[in-house]
Structure formats: structure tokens, C-alpha cells
Amino acid sequence: MADLKGKILAGKILVEPQEAEEKTISGIIIPDSAKEKPQQGTVVMVGAAKKDEPMEIKVGDVVVYGKYSGTELNIDGNDYLLMSQSDVLYIA
């Protein structure tokens, strides 16, 4: 995890997605074109709480989110997702 500069707005989180699986359990290698977009990642930055919604997620939490949640960002060569706290389905 890089030392990120900047500020996240209220109610938003920045997530570093987990890498897509390289091979199946049985050992079959999955080509890049067939890999599924991961739906789980680690929170690296958290914005302040909104007036009507307390921030329940903290840095370091592993979260599960919807397939099309968030906006993809590339910061210093690393891929991240910027999403609302409400896009998170589960905190592991």
C-alpha cells in the first residue's frame, strides 16, 4: 500500500481491490480476458462521516461490494475504487 496523499470526501472510501484469481482450484490457468472483476478489497482511505450517516468503515477493513460499484482510479500506478460507504455489502 502506497503512502497516498489527498482527501476523501464525506461518506466515501477508497478501496484497493484484491487481485483476480490466476487459476482455478483444479489448476486451470485463467486467461486475462476471462478473469472476473474482483468484488472484495481492502480499505486504504476513509472520508469523514456524513451528518445523517455515521462512518462504520475504517482503514484496513476488508469489504465486499457490488459488481459495478465505485469509480475506478489509477493513482501512482496502482488501481483503486472510490465508492460510497453505502455501496459496501459486507465488512469482513
Give the SS3 label for residue 13. strand
pLDDT at 53 over 80: yes
Query: Is 1 within a domain?
Result: no
Domain contains 3: no
Look at the chain and report how many structural domains it folds into.
1
| Residue 65 belongs to domain spanning | 12-91
CA–CA separation, 63 and 33 (whole Å): 25
Residue 77 sits in a domain whose CATH number is 2.30.33.40
Confirm whether 25 is domain-assigned: yes
What was the pLDDT predicted at 42? Answer: 94
Q: Is the predicted pLDDT of residue 84 greater than 90, yes or no?
A: yes
Which strands make up the sheet holding 71-75, listed edge to edge?
A: 71-75, 78-84, 12-17, 40-46, 62-65, 88-91
Check residue 68 and give its pLDDT: 86
Residue 7 inside a domain? The answer is: no
